[in-house]
Each structure stands twice: as C-alpha cells, then as structure tokens.
Amino acid sequence: MTLPQGMETSSGHLTRRDATRLLIGAGATLLLSPRMNAARNNAAILTRAIPSTKEKLPIVGLGSWQTFDIGASAAERAPLKEVLRRFVQLGGSLIDSSPMYGRAEAVIGNLTSELHLREQLFLATKVWTTGRQAGIDSMERSLARLRTKSLDLMQVHNLVDLETQLTTLRAWKEEGRIRYLGITHYTDNAFPEIEKILRREPLDFLQINYSIDARGADERILPLARDRGVAVLTNRPFASGTLFRRVRGRPLPEWAAEFDCRSWAQFFLKWIVANPVVTCAIPATGKVDHLEDNMSAARGRLPDEKMRARMAQFLARA
C-alpha cells in the first residue's frame, strides 16, 4: 500500500511555528503575522485557467490529508469549520480530498453543508481501488460523504487500475456527475508511467509532487502537461515538512520582498505557483493562521525564472 500525498502540513506545523518565532526573534522585519498579512494585502487573488475549459482557479488551494481526519464532536471540528470559512473569505476555491484520507471527505461534506459553501467551492477527490463496480461504489460513497450530487474533479489516485477507472470517469463526465477527470501520484518514481499516460490519454488534470526541493517534474512532466493542455495540481509543497526544518533559524532573505514574500511558507509556495504550468498548489492545514499565510502566496508579485533559480540556490545552501 503506497502512502498518500499531502503529508507536509501535519509534519510541518511545529517547524513552521519554530521558523516564525526565530525569524521574529532575529528582527526580520519582512515577516508579518499571517493575520496582518491578510489584513494588509488587498491585492486580488491570482488565478490560472484550466486549459481544457479556460475556467479559472485560485493558484493556492487546500489539501485535507490527515488534517481533516478528525472526530465528530463540535469542539474537534470547530477549528476546521473556521478554516473552511476563512478559506472562502480569502478567495479560495479548490479543496482536494480522498476516500483514503480517513474521515476527511465526511468532515468536509458536513462542514461545507453547515456553512452553505458548496457553490463557492471546487471539490476534488479520488478513486483508489480495483474493479469497475468497486470504483463506482467508492465514488458513490464519496459523493454521499461530501454531500453533493456531482463533483468538480474526480482523480484516479496513484494510477490504481487506471484503464478501468478512467472508463467510468469518462461515462460520469458525459452524464454530468463530474466536470473534470484526472490522475494523481506523489513520487518521482511514477513519472515514467505518468509520461506514457499523458501522451495517450485525454485528461483534464494531473496531480503530482512538486516543490523547490523536488523539481523532477520540471524535466519532462510539466512541459508535457503544458503541451497536452492538462491542468496541474501540486501536492507535497513543503516536502513533508522538511523544508521548514531546513530553514530553521535562518532569516528570510531581504530580497524576498521583491516578490511580496513575507514568510517561508510563502517563499516555498510562490516558487511553485510562479511556474505557469502549475494551476494550483494544495498545501494541507487545519490551522487558520497557517491557512492565511498560505493564501497570501496567491497574492502580489511572483518570482520570475531568474529569481526562482536564486531561491533554489539559496535553499541548496541551507
């Protein structure tokens, strides 16, 4: 059984907090608190078009692995309810989940229903099983958990039983039960197979791992997605939290202000979404302050290619 993507937030909470505290202690005036960032930055959220339809999505979304797998009590779910409310207030749209993320789908469905947010969200989930009927049953359960009659995006997770599930997804798309279909994986080892699939299959979306510390997709996958007109979602943007650990104790470089960057989370996310092939990065979090910090990466200036190279070089010395 392969491990799912989106591990970065649950393992990175403490390191992000440590990095923020140390930056402030070092007198890094570029770093503002996430709430101050959100209040002071009035720029419109940046969006990017889905190639197959030109529908636009905000370039930063919300993952749900582990962070949304919680109990049913109101006390447990109150923080996540505020995360979802604030996500939409800040202009967010795409939420990514999976039936393999424990109770995440049900939690998202319950909370978005309570908040009456369905029409404001782009809901994405996955099918991760073998066999036609098992796939159908899994997707029906996802619809029920998410409390919706149709989904914006259904993805074949980790390429499991790909041909069988894609056949069902195409039928569901024709019937209007899903609007887009795609595939996902979370390791570079899958890139050779993904390349073959991109060349032969008409897809709307591809979800892959991509970060400043994991740039393997730059070589062949992202150029091919661009040429094939496939939208790209990027998971593991913080490399399972290791990026925060690498910069622990280091101040944000002053030149980060040149692309409106005020935190390490924004540094890492802006590097990703500055690539025009990336449609949306999906960091997972269950904390409002982290959410606000992440969403600030979707506002203001983005680094150009020369700056992205400088960012990568800076991190390599960390």
Q: How far apart are CA 297 and CA 259, in angstroms?
A: 10
Residue 198: predicted pLDDT:
98
CA distance 287 to 65: 13
Give pLDDT, residue 43: 80
pTM for this prediction = 0.87
Angle between helical axes of 264-273 and 8-25 (0-180°, round to 10): 120
Tokens of 132: 């036609």
Helix or strand run (H / E) with residue 183: strand 178-184
Look at residue 282 in the predicted model and tell me its pLDDT: 98
Return the pLDDT at 316: 93
Residue 181 pairs in a beta bridge with: 154
C-alpha 180 chain-centroid distance: 17
- Number of domains observed in the structure of the chain: 1
- Torsion over CA of 125, 129, 131 and 134, rounded to 10 degrees? -70
**Chain-centre distance of CA 80, in angstroms?**
16
- Residue 285 near residue 238, CB atoms below 8 Å: no
Q: Contact at 8 Å (CB) between 274 and 20?
A: no
The CA distance from 205 to 65, in Å, is: 19
Length of the chain: 318
Asked if residue 3 belongs to a domain, the reply is no
Predicted local confidence at residue 240, as pLDDT:
84
3-state secondary structure of 194: helix
Instruction: Give the helix ranges, DSSP H, for 45-161.
Output: 74-89, 104-115, 132-145
223: its two tokens = 């150029």
- Domain region containing 281: 8-263+273-316
Residue 35 within any structural domain of the chain: yes
Tell whether 2 is covered by a domain.
no
Classify residue 254: in a domain, yes or no. Answer: yes
With respect to residue 268, please indicate whether it lies within any of the assigned structural domains.
Answer: no
d(CA 164, CA 50): 25
In the Cβ-directed half-sphere of 45, how many Cα atoms lie within 13 Å?
A: 21
Neighbouring C-beta atoms of residue 201, cutoff 10 Å = 17
Answer whether residue 1 is part of any domain: no
DSSP state of 62: B
Instruction: Look up the CATH number of the domain holding residue 29.
Output: 3.20.20.100
Q: CB of 156 within 8 A of CB of 127?
A: yes
Mean pLDDT, each 10-residue run in order, the chain (318 residues): 37 43 36 42 86 98 94 93 98 97 95 97 97 98 97 97 98 98 97 98 98 97 98 95 94 97 98 98 97 98 98 93
> For residue 110, is it within any domain?
yes
Does residue 37 sit within a domain? yes
